[in-house]
């Protein structure tokens, strides 16, 4: 099965996107397989609102493992199953918590196995902080690495928020030549384009 991994810095909305995108694709009960860096795995079935409550938070590094969602996409006449992999946010420096570091190492390792990379950037904070603050070196390096993949796209998230339009322009200027889809994970905006992109490249 193809794997599609969601990457980005901490708190850009990766998990919320994964849950809402699965919901958008018509998946009622989310069966989420969480694999922890030490190898422990567990499966839990959530309803959508439960998932949002228990898996997302406004503080960074809520996700400390790889969370796999199985999703189905229509591709031409047939339906295709693939794994949507939600990952731990990457940071610029070295995190003090060894658990978070292990989870980040796990994320990096998972990139290798993925065919499609959805690179998520918080457009609203780019708009407010300026591109130097919110688009970090980690984003640039991620782009350098992930664009070697079959499918690589930048998702400019939080387009519903103030300053996001400016942020999107800055993202476009920084990552010239890359596919960029503006989305709102919260409001489910831009999901049709994401679906099309994933269906083509997965």
Find how far residue 133's CA is from the centre of its chain. Answer: 20
Nearest Cα residue to 36 out of 82, 88, 78: 88
Q: Compute the radius of gyration of the chain from its Cα atoms.
A: 16
Question: Residue 96 CB, nearest distance to another protein (Å)?
Answer: 8
- Positions in the binding site for another protein (CB under 8 A): 37, 90-95, 98, 101-102, 104-106, 108-109, 111-112, 136-138, 141-142, 144-145, 148
For residues 67 and 106, which CB has a smaller minimum distance to another protein in the complex?
A: 106
Question: Residue 188 CB, nearest distance to another protein (Å)?
Answer: 29
Question: Residue 160 CB, nearest distance to another protein (Å)?
Answer: 28
What is the number of alpha carbons within 13 Å of residue 58 lying toward its C-beta? 0
Count other Cβ atoms within 10 Å, centred on residue 69: 23
For residues 40 and 112, which CB has a smaller minimum distance to another protein in the complex?
A: 112
Question: Residue 36 CB, nearest distance to another protein (Å)?
Answer: 13
For residues 77 and 112, which CB has a smaller minimum distance to another protein in the complex?
A: 112
Instruction: Report helix, strand or coil for 30.
Output: strand
Q: Which two tokens stand for residue 77?
A: 């006449």
């Amino acid at each position: 099965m193809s794997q599609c991994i969601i990457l980005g810095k901490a708190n850009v909305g990766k998990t919320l996107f994964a849950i809402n995108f699965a919901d958008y694709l018509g998946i009622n009960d989310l069966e989420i397989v969480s694999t922890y860096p030490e190898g422990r795995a567990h499966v839990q079935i959530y309803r959508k609102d439960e998932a949002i409550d228990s898996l997302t938070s406004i503080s960074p590094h809520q996700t400390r493992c790889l969370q796999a969602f199985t999703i189905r996409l229509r591709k031409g006449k047939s339906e295709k199953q693939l794994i949507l992999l939600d990952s731990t946010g990457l940071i610029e420096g070295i995190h003090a918590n060894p658990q978070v570091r292990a989870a980040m190492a796990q994320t990096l390792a998972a990139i290798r196995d993925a065919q499609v990379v959805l690179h998520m950037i918080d457009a609203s904070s780019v708009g407010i902080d300026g591109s130097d603050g919110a688009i970090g070196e980690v984003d640039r390096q991620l782009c350098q690495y992930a664009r070697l993949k079959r499918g690589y796209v930048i998702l400019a998230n939080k387009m519903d928020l103030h300053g996001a339009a400016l942020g999107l322009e800055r993202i476009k200027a920084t990552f010239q030549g890359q596919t960029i889809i503006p989305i709102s994970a919260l409001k489910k905006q831009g999901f049709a384009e994401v679906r099309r992109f994933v269906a083509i490249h997965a």
